[in-house]
């Protein structure tokens, strides 16, 4: 909101407050020398003095400079995770027994470096199929050459030549297929396959012991770039006012200085790799363009990805919204609605329009007691309703709304309860 007074008016008040004519000078019978007065004025020519009235009008507090511990900030639960696009989970394509382990926890590895060797019966079987296919191919090629010779001499039948040629093509395809399968397995000699590092990085997890049996379901090694991490924090709704969107927030963790960027929607996430899931809690009702948000989630998810969340739905804080807009109407201001609160049918249709399947959609009343007065809640979350008011009128505006809400939201014991209504959903892409 803009101040109710122009900046020039404040400057005039300040200059009047420090005018030499504002109070008679007391010299106790001694006139200061002209040179001393000139020096004093010159020494303070860059200073501006404010009268008590100007200080009060500008809401300026004056105090002694002291050394104190810094206060403020927000403490939120968070988890440090390795950046997904810089992390590789390495495991075998087929089951097998570990015969050699070449990398240990903390090792720095290069792309293509051997991590372990696995003996696999599946690899042995594939190599046996490759040998058999090669033998049949050699026989088929010999037959094909014989049929070509007979055909050129006018002895062999054309049909036999065609059949021999088809048999050769079929066996060549089989040999190529088995060879590619062994290549995908990472097969080495005999019935062994080698697990190799797909990226440069550091081994941060090892689930491989000599003689242990591995399966494709579990990774044997996890390799990552430890200089690239994410911090996933759950910011309580009461702390949101202390953070600013798209602004780097200084963040401290034990022995790990970080900077976290808070974004306003999954579509603005700088991560480019497809995600398995997107989760949102108490945030989507702040994002007024719901369709753009869902389009961003859709782009961020891989096929089969999940989108799960909860936010304010239809009827959320209806009493608070009504009281605030009624107070705006009494002051000649139009109604406002700074939140996105759809109903179950509306949000289901929006999700389906983006290609989501929606197995879960619930509208849940959840009255929530406040630790203090609803007046504090209004000052934290309802600033949009004070748009158009002079700064000096904002406090009275919230006081009037609080008084109107008291019969509805304050209990006999003095506890204030906010009329939250939550829309909870789970959606999945095909």
Give burial (CB, 10 Å; 0-12/13-18/19+) of 78: middle
Q: How high is the pLDDT of residue 189?
A: 59
pLDDT, tens digit, for every residue of 179-211? 776 665 555 556 677 888 889 999 988 888 888
Q: 273: helix, coil or strand? A: coil
CA 170 to chain centre: 51
Looking at every residue in the chain, the average pLDDT score rounds to 77
Tell me the pTM.
Answer: 0.43
Higher pLDDT, 260 or 12: 260
pLDDT, tens digit, for every residue of 77-135? 677 777 777 888 888 877 788 888 988 888 999 998 989 888 876 666 667 777 788 88
Its sign, for the CA torsion 324, 325, 326, 328, is positive
Q: How high is the pLDDT of residue 238?
A: 61
Which domains occur in the chain, in start order? Answer: 84-224 (2.40.50.100), 246-428 (3.40.50.150)
Structure tokens at 22: 């504002």
pLDDT, tens digit, for every residue of 317-370? 999 999 999 999 999 999 999 999 999 999 999 999 999 999 999 999 999 999
- Only one residue has tokens 């201001």, namely 333
Task: With CA atoms as reference, report the closest residue to 205 among 352, 66, 88.
Answer: 88
Q: How high is the pLDDT of residue 10?
A: 32
156 torsion bin: left (phi>0), alpha (psi -120 to 50), beta (else): beta
Q: How high is the pLDDT of residue 378?
A: 93
């Amino acid at each position: 909101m803009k101040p109710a007074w122009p900046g020039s008016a404040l400057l005039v008040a300040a200059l009047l407050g420090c005018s030499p004519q504002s109070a008679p000078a007391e010299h106790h019978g001694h006139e200061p020398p002209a040179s001393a007065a000139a020096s004093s004025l010159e020494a303070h020519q860059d200073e501006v003095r404010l009268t008590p009235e100007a200080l009060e009008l500008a809401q300026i507090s004056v105090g002694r400079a002291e050394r104190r511990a810094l206060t403020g900030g927000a403490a939120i639960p968070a988890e440090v995770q390795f950046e997904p696009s810089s992390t590789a989970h390495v495991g075998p394509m087929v089951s097998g027994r570990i015969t050699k382990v070449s990398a240990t926890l903390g090792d720095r590895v290069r792309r293509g470096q051997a991590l372990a060797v696995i003996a696999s019966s599946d690899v042995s079987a594939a190599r046996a199929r490759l040998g058999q296919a090669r033998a049949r191919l050699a026989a088929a090629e010999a037959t094909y050459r014989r049929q070509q010779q007979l055909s050129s001499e006018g002895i062999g039948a054309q049909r036999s030549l065609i059949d021999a040629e088809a048999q050769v093509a079929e066996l060549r395809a089989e040999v190529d297929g088995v060879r590619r399968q062994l290549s995908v397995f990472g097969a080495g000699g005999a019935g062994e396959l080698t697990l190799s590092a797909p990226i440069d990085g550091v081994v941060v997890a090892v689930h491989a012991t000599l003689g242990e049996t591995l399966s494709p379901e579990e990774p044997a090694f996890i390799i990552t770039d430890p200089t690239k991490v994410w911090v996933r924090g759950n910011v309580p709704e009461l702390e949101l006012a202390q953070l600013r969107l798209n602004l780097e927030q200084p963040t401290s963790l034990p022995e790990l200085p970080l900077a976290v960027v808070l974004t306003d929607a999954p579509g603005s996430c700088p991560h480019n790799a497809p995600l398995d899931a997107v989760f949102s809690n108490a945030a989507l009702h702040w994002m007024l363009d719901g369709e753009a948000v869902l389009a961003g989630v859709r782009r961020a998810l891989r096929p089969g990805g999940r989108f799960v969340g909860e936010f304010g739905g239809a009827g959320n804080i209806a009493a608070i919204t009504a009281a605030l807009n009624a107070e705006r109407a009494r002051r000649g201001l139009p109604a406002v609605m700074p939140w996105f609160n759809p109903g179950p049918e509306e949000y289901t249709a929006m999700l389906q329009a983006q290609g989501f399947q929606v197995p879960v959609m619930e509208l849940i009343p959840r009255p929530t007691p406040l630790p203090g007065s609803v007046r504090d809640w209004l000052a934290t979350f309802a600033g949009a309703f004070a748009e158009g008011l002079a700064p000096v009128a904002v406090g009275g505006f919230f006081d009037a709304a609080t008084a109107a809400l008291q019969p509805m939201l304050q209990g006999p014991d003095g506890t204030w309860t906010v009329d939250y209504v939550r829309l909870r959903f789970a959606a999945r892409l095909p």
